Structure 1
Amino acid sequence: MTDHLARLNPAQRAAATAAAPVLVLAGAGSGKTETLIRRVAGLILGGEAPDRLLCITFTAKAAGEMRGRLLALLGPERTPRWVGTFHAVMARLLIEDGGGVPGLPRGFAILGQGDARELLMQAGGLRDAKAAGLLQEAVSLLKNGLVADPRRLPRSGAVARFEPEVLAQAAALLPAYQTALAGRQALDFDDLIARPVLAMQADPALAAHWSSRWAEILVDEYQDTNHAQHALVRLLAGQPGRVFAVGDDLQAIYGWRGADVGHIRRFRKDYKAAPAPLKLETNYRSTPTILRAANAVAAEDPEALPKLLRPADPAAPPGAAIVIREVPTPEDDGRAALAWVQALRRRLPELPWRECAVLVRAGFVAEPILAALRQASVPVRLVTDREPEPPKEVLATVAWLRLAMSRGDGGRWDPAADDAFRRACAFPARGIGGALFGRLREHAAAGGLALAQAVATLPATPKERQGLEAVLGVAGEIAAGVARRRLGPADALRLAAEASEIAERLAPGGRPGQAWAAMLQAAAEAGSVAAYCDGAALGAMPGEAEATDAVQVMTLHRAKGLEFDHVLLAGLEEGVWPHWQAEQQGAIAEERRLFYVGVTRARHTLQLGWVRQRRDWAGKPSRFLAEIPKALLQGAAAPRPSRAGTAPARPVTPPSQAETDRLVAEFAARQAARAARAAR
């Protein structure tokens, strides 16, 4: 590695080498992940120990990508272990070093959303699953707000989603729910962050102890932090705040679930030693026309941190004009989307289906579009907001491999794999009941041992001991097979499935088989079995296999972080986008940011669609359509239904380069004036 910064532009290089604390304001498509990875490489090549770096992002997929790129750049010996989501890295920290958190059970279980909801229903005597789901979201809001009293929650869009009665009921139910969790010796996902934060706030010695572990904390997508996550980063960073934060306030779109865009905008107030934000404004994704549209939308947010997206090649042609398409009904919307895809494929026969994306604000907007595409036998993939958890068969197989690889050379088992041991004992069933496991946990805690290590000295009946030792025997077989045959991660998983007798449940077809295929594909890219097990421990596991080639239809929240050659934003009507509740909840700015995210997903062409009559109300074009400069638009008459579907749009002459340059110059001047006023 002659120069790990060679691929970076000057702004990226400055960000990768700046002293922390520092905020990097990274525009869409500006190479922020590459910059963060090169910074990690520079720190390690400069002598920093990999385990002294904590790299946090928001999704298991993003964490897996980051880990894979670091592995390819640095090799397995120098790749940091602490790369993962907020919840995953804190789960690991609590497992390895959670003794200072009051009441934290050793070998605690982590409940998924479904199990946590069932426990909440039991604690509150609830029978209505839908009502329980709403209460679970309200409980989550209280935990992430680090309060038990709804009156202490700051007013926000997330709070406005709930009726006061729902928040009051959640607060009343919270103590019983926490007692039920303690009885199960379990934490839910929110506890993984809230409990250590509250413990550190109450015990400065614990905060100092944990803070001393890290030379630097690197946080991607900083604009998406909620109150608990923000407090966690500040506590772990210590003084003067060894934080390298990367994000874009214009892509803050999760306020409805508790994220606060103010965290990124107030970064210098939190970290007094931080300089002015460094900016990554060179966009490597979109055409100049699309970038000018995005900048115009951004200019409508008076509180946005000043930033101007620029094309990587200043001499690049402007690209295709943006099309606004108006249709009479949702059925026409579906036919028009089909015509859009078919026209692209006729013009570009080699274009992969997956490079065409239909992005929507609300799921019902996608229904007629999906129907039209499927009826025409166009391959299509629907991606919803909720990413499913892998099936229990897949999770158990991964647990068996993690358990097998957790025994060190000295024969001692690693307590970080306690959760894997628990899952291996439970599936496939081996007669190891809750009472036996509870005794094992108490025995392990008394001796400061890993659960697997404690089996040897546990007072137990011959039958009980036989069941526990059988689990360890299978784990030993897996470990020996991996070492003897020098297996890679995917083959090691296959061996774990066979040895644990789960393989027959993972046959192709059905959801377990699909998720198993996705897991094997991810494992094949992990590099080594040890690296894969580390990643799996931190939650980097895909839920579903992706379609090989299909038109992507998804909500905007799932599209964040993705990019496509050709994008259609559908459902741009008042009441749909922006959502009708946004006005009363004070969330119009976030709806605009969602529009900005949609615009910046497109590389080459962008269409914006709205419907005049949807269901039983007359549609009006979204206010956001008027924020796109007319000079960037291709004229389009309202399509009229015909026997063949909808009529094609009527094109007009695209704007001249001089006209678009004038608009950009005016916009840049407004941005500079706004920045000057903000500085005063």
Structure 2
Amino acid sequence: MEISLKTLNEEQKAAVTHEAGPLLIVAGAGTGKTTVIAQRIGWLIETGKAKGDEILALTFTDKAAGEMEERADKLLPYGYLDLWISTFHAFAEKILKENALEIGVPNDFKLLNQTQQWLLVRQNLDKFDLDYYRPLGNPTKFIHALIKLFSRAKDEVISPADYLKYAKELKLNADSADFLKNILDQETIKALSKKEKKELAVQEIKKAEEAASAFHVYQRLLLENNALDFGDLINYCLELFKKRPAVLAKYRQKFKYILVDEFQDTNYAQYEMVKLLAAPRNNITVVGDDDQAIYKFRGASVSNILEFKKDFPRAKEVFLNQNYRSTQGILDLSYKFIQQNNPDRLEVKLATSDKKQATSDEGQTKKFSKKLIAQNNEPGLIRHLPFETVDDEVRGVLKQIVDLKEKDKTAAWSDFAILSRTNDAANYFVSVISQTQIPYQFLASRGLYNKPVILDILAYLKLLDDYHEGPATFRVLNFPVFGLDLSEINNLQHWAYKKGSSLFRALQAAVLFNEIEEEVREKFKIIVGLIEKHSRLALEKPAGEVVIAFLQDSGYLQALTKEDSAASIQAVNYLNQFYKKITDFENSSADQSVKNFLQLVELEMEAGDAGALANNLEEGPDSVKIMTVHAAKGLEFKYVFVVNLVDRRFPTGERRDPIELPDSLIKEILPEGDAHLQEERRLFYVAMTRAKTGLFFTSAYDCGGARRKKLSSFLLELKNVGFKIQEEKTKPGESLLIKRQEKIGGEIPEPELINALPEKFSFTQLKAFETCPYQYRFAHVLRVPVRGKASFSFGKSIHSTLQQFFDLIIQRSSVVQIDLFGDKVQSSKLKVQSLKSPVSLEELLEIYDNAWIDDWYANQKEQAEYKQKGK
């Protein structure tokens, strides 16, 4: 193994080769921080400072962890497979799975997402002693707000007991003159009568008591249901490390070096966990940029990166400011803009603190600068495009994209990004671009249940559960695969209205009507036959089998995959995500029926969950990307359009949490300035620094409301630092109405489809391709869900049984530590347990029963035969 430092600049080398002790790497946008982290991992291993499994690298998303691991794998030879590179939550989950019983927490817990948390509270609402937070007219109104409160409390390591103590102290201080100062401003307090002040105090105490009690009940419900939420993972890890010194010592000894990526996005609890693990060596490297801290709504604390130097005053600092992405013009404008957040920025804080220290120490100061230096010294294309109406803005942006692509022959559609502050603003662009020939991809994080292909499947499943579902019947009749004309469907619907019948009953009756053309009658007969067949199947089989039966029996899947179009590939992608949703449901539910699955989807939609969407920029068509600025974090594009830059849209007005965590419980250091406006500035800075060569700001004076909109205050701030704001409104141009059948600037070819080629192929994949390339495409490229086989279920059951059997043997003969609960780890006191209690036949059969997979058997008889064969 040989880690090459030749490709690194001086600052990167200094970061990679830092010997020991705390290290703060301030990595500006586009400065190659992922490369630095991967190279540092490789360098630590190559120089013998640590083995692969003695380095812990933490980040925030699975994608970032995967990218970091991939970079490290390429640097290391085969054999370094024990790298601990993961998200904070995945790391904490792994620790708890191994050690949770030490603190009385089950180690076989289920991990609940936000929607599952909502469902847990919703289904147990009567167990919560709520009055104010459970209005009679809308009893579920505050469930989301309560869950958000519990999450924020866990971010700050606040337990239910802490919150109950706060509520009691609040009640004791109700008569204090300062009681209302934490709630209202001085002028409002003066305007209140004595009676009003007393009533307000009583109400605030009641709300605090309800919130504290609800937090306590919620935590009890989690444990009763053998479940944890994401906040619990970090908090229970902290509790484990604090209460069980032996466990903490084991992991401290294991991890000689700790690296944290995107450190500005850590919350208080995560930082506390990292500090505990790093001591006493404190070989901790944190990489971050306070100017890109944009996740306050998720509990991230920008104060962590500002506090790092206070916690580790002798920490080495490395500023990465060589930018490999943008032109100098874009970087200069971005830097001038973000300085509006001074003096609460790290650059200023570090310079100030080091100046004080230098005065008392050696009398000289270091030069701190986060001004980024570009490899590309060109000014770049930076423009403001104002429009009269939002419709003009959308069409004008699309025209600019087409014009730029014509001029820049090297540009692909995927070099263009439209970034908005919210999904609502992005939706307007989607609605227009979908009527054009321009290929696009809307990278929303939610909305799976609103995709046409998923709406189709949900409609069909509803028919299997309730024949009188009129809208579902109408949608199913409109499936292209059934070949019905709209006039034929309308005639059937008219007859149903006339007879006072449901549309489905009319469909059943129409099969027997001789007055209807035989061809149409045959189509109706096919549809009725499929529904009746799958209704019977739905009574016996799990939801996943029913969905696959519909897709294959109806010809829907064949029609969907007939063409290699961008729309077809995307639809199959949504279908795969939906099928995974069904699989997850089946794995976690005793009742796997269609009926139960539909009830779950309805509850999720009631909770405001439109279905999570997984987006992969590396796969799919070459297309213009439309997304929020939050979703664009970590990405880069040749041309970026930051849209909807008007007052109250970007920056948005501050939306406070319906139930706020009391300031007296918050442990993070809050900024002195306007925290919301500062975060919005950082978000705007992130948007600007996504651009390589072209950056466009667009706005519209008429957004459909009664009043004309003012320009965004951020545009005015840019003007104050020298950027020219265009006064004359831009004309969208005649080529705006770009219908699918029309041409814009000539022929627009079908976008190239990008399907990432795997770096490794399994024997099964190669065999599938050799047998039938089309089969390979279905199974391994499109990953279309297919009907399973009884033999596969049987094989998996046997494999799982044997794996658990051998794990149990290893566990009973493993090396165990005697002093498990002691304050000190006495590594010398180890003994090997002999296998005194081998696994009995009864235990093996119990494992077999629990591991048994009952999917894809033709009937109960066949399943019983297979199961007996396994014994």
Q: TM-score range by the shorter chain?
A: 0.5 to 0.7
**Alpha carbons of structure 1 residues 518 and 14: separation in structure 2 relative to 1, 3 Å:** farther
2:372 to 281, 291, 310: 310
Amino acid at match of 2:14: A
The aligned residue for residue 89 of structure 1 is 91
Match of 2:747 in 1: none
- Matched-pair contact (CA < 8 Å) for 1:25–1:246: yes
Cα distance change, pair 58–129 in 1 and its aligned pair in 2 (3 A): farther
The structure with more radius of gyration: 2
Answer whether contact 2:331 2:374 (CA < 8 A) is retained. Answer: no
Structure 1 counterpart of 2:710, one-letter code: K
Residue of structure 1 equivalent to 2:157:
146
How big is the shift at 1:235? 1.2
Instruction: Tell me what 1:609 maps to.
Output: 698
Tell me whether 1:288 sits opposite 2:328 in the alignment. Answer: yes
The farther-off stretch of 130-139 and 634-643 is: 634-643
1:52 maps to what in 2? 54
Q: Which residue identity does 1:577 align to in structure 2?
A: F
Q: Distance in 2 between matches of 1:622 and 1:238?
A: 46
Tell me, yes or no, if structure 1 residue 564 matches structure 2 residue 637: yes
The residue number in structure 1 matching 2:230 is 189
Provide the secondary structure at the position in 2 that maps to 1:266. helix
Which amino acid in structure 1 is aligned with residue 263 of structure 2?
Y
1:576 aligns with one of 636, 649, 655? 649
Query: Bigger shift: 335-344 or 636-645?
Result: 636-645
> Aligned pair in 2 of structure 1 residues 52, 637: CA closer, same or farther (>3 Å)?
same
1:517-555 CA-to-partner distances (Å, cap 9, x unmatched) read 999xxxxxxxxxxxxxxxxxxxxx993455322111111
1:132: how far off?
2.4
Q: Of residues 204, 207, 222 in structure 1, which corresponds to 2:263?
A: 222
Alignment of 1:345 onto 2:399: no
Indicate conservation of the 8 Å contact 1:51/1:81, yes or no: yes
Using the TM superposition, give the Cα deviation of residue 197 of structure 1 relative to its aligned residue in structure 2, in angstroms: 1.3
Matched, 1:365 2:406: no
Conserved in 2, the CA contact under 8 Å of 1:356 and 1:566? yes
Match of 1:381 in 2: 441
Question: Is the Cα contact below 8 Å between 1:61 and 1:542 reproduced in 2?
Answer: no
Query: Which of 49, 52, 73 pairs up with 2:75?
Result: 73
Shift in Å at residue 116 of structure 1?
2.4
Change (3 A) 1:371 1:350: farther
Correspondence for 1:554: 627
Residue 627, structure 1, aligned to residue 667, structure 2:
no
Partners of 1:224 and 1:76 in 2: CA distance? 33
Cross-structure match for 2:379: 319
SS in 1 for 2:249: helix
For residues 580 and 548 of structure 2, what CA distance do their matches in structure 1 show? 17
Q: Which has the higher contact order (CA 8 A, sep 6+)?
A: 1
Aligned partner of 1:427 in structure 2 is: none
Match of residue 543 from structure 1? 614
Tell me what 2:29 maps to: 28
Q: Which is further off, 356-365 or 36-45?
A: 356-365
Taking the aligned partners of 1:166 and 1:560, their CA distance within structure 2 comes to 37
Contact 2:385 2:730 in 1 (8 A): yes
Match of 2:460 in 1: none
Amino acid at match of 2:119: E
Distance in 1 of aligned mates of 2:77 and 2:209 = 52
| Residues 641 and 84 of structure 1, relative CA distance in 2, 3 Å threshold | closer
* Paired position in structure 2 for 1:272: 313
Counterpart of 1:64 (choices 28, 41, 66) is 66
**Following the alignment from structure 2 to structure 1, what is the Cα–Cα distance between the partners of residues 56 and 643?**
39
Q: Which residue of 1 aligns with 2:144?
A: 133
Q: Structure 2: how far apart are the matches of 1:517 and 1:283?
A: 42
State the shift of 1:5 in Å.
2.1
> Helix, strand or coil for the counterpart of 1:98?
helix
The answer to whether the Cα contact below 8 Å between 1:321 and 1:634 also exists between their aligned partners in 2 is no
The question of whether the paired residues in 1 share the 8 Å contact of 2:28 and 2:372 is answered with: no
- Which amino acid letter does the alignment assign opposite residue 78 of structure 1? Y
Give the AA of the match of 1:379: P
Q: Contact 2:329–2:380 at 8 Å: present in 1 too?
A: yes
Aligned letter for 1:108? F
Letter in 1 for 2:335: N
Whole-angstrom distance in 2 between the partners of 1:118 and 1:224: 28
Q: Deviations over 1:44-94 (max 9, x none)?
A: 112211111111111111111111111122144214431111101111121
Is the Cα–Cα contact under 8 Å of residues 382 and 694 in structure 2 kept in the other structure? Answer: yes
TM-score where L is the length of structure 2: 0.54
User: Deviation digits for residues 623-647 of structure 1, max 9, x if unmatched?
Assistant: 222333665548562225676659x
Structure 1 segments unaligned to the other structure (5+ residues):
154-158, 390-499, 520-540, 647-680
Residue aligning to 2:467:
none
CA distance in 1, matches of 2:330, 2:57: 32
Give 1:585 shift. 6.8
Task: Tell me if the contact between 2:52 and 2:80 (Cα under 8 Å) persists in the aligned partners.
Answer: yes
- Show structure 2 runs of 5+ residues with no match: 127-133, 168-182, 185-202, 348-368, 450-543, 552-556, 562-570, 582-611, 657-672, 738-871
Shift of residue 96, structure 1, vs aligned partner: 2.6
**Could you tell me how far apart the structure 2 residues matched to 1:289 and 1:168 are?**
54
Q: Tell me whether 108-117 or 13-22 shows the greater mean CA deviation.
A: 108-117
The verdict on how the C-alpha distance between 1:128 and 1:4 changes in structure 2, with shifts beyond 3 A counting, is farther
- In the alignment, the residues of structure 1 paired with residue 253 and residue 243 of structure 2 have an alpha-carbon distance, to the nearest angstrom, of 17
Contact 1:215 / 1:242 at 8 angstroms: preserved in 2? yes
Alpha-carbon separation, structure 1, partners of 2:140 and 2:397: 36
Partners of 1:263 and 1:513 lie apart in 2 by 41
How far off its partner does 1:41 sit?
0.2
Contact kept, 8 Å, 1:354 with 1:552, in 2: the verdict is: yes
Over 3 Å counting, the alpha-carbon distance change for 1:144 and 1:300 in structure 2 is same
**Number of corresponding residues:** 505
30-39 or 256-265: which moved more? Answer: 256-265
Q: Which moved more, 1:180-189 or 1:317-326?
A: 317-326
* Identical columns (%): 32
SS of 1:212's equivalent?
helix
Residue 217 of structure 2, aligned match among 157, 176, 195: 176
Q: 1:78 to 1:641 in 2, by over 3 A?
A: closer
Question: Deviations for 1:432-453, whole angstroms, at most 9, x for unmatched residues?
Answer: xxxxxxxxxxxxxxxxxxxxxx
User: 2:99–2:107: 8 Å Cα contact kept in structure 1?
Assistant: no
Under a length normalisation based on structure 1, what TM-score does the superposition of the two structures give? 0.68
Q: Deviations over 1:176-230 (max 9, x none)?
A: 2222211221211111111111333344444333322211110000000111111
Q: Output the amino acid matched with 1:27.
A: G
Q: Is the 8 A contact 1:327 1:610 kept in 2?
A: yes
Secondary structure in 1 matching 2:91: helix
Tell me the C-alpha RMSD between the 2 structures.
3.4
User: Secondary structure at 1:190's aligned position in 2?
Assistant: helix
Matched, 1:104 2:166: no
SS at match of 1:146: coil
Change (3 A) 1:249 1:197: same
Contact preservation (8 Å) 2:252, 2:278: yes
> Contact between 1:353 and 1:550, CA under 8 Å: does it hold in 2?
yes
Alignment of 1:454-473 (within 5 A): none
Of residues 331, 335, 338, the one that matches 1:298 is 338
Distance 1:130 1:9, change over 3 A: farther
- 8 Å CA contact retained: 1:296, 1:627: no
Q: Are residues 23 and 69 of structure 1, via their aligned partners in 2, closer, same or farther at CA, if it must alter by over 3 Å?
A: same
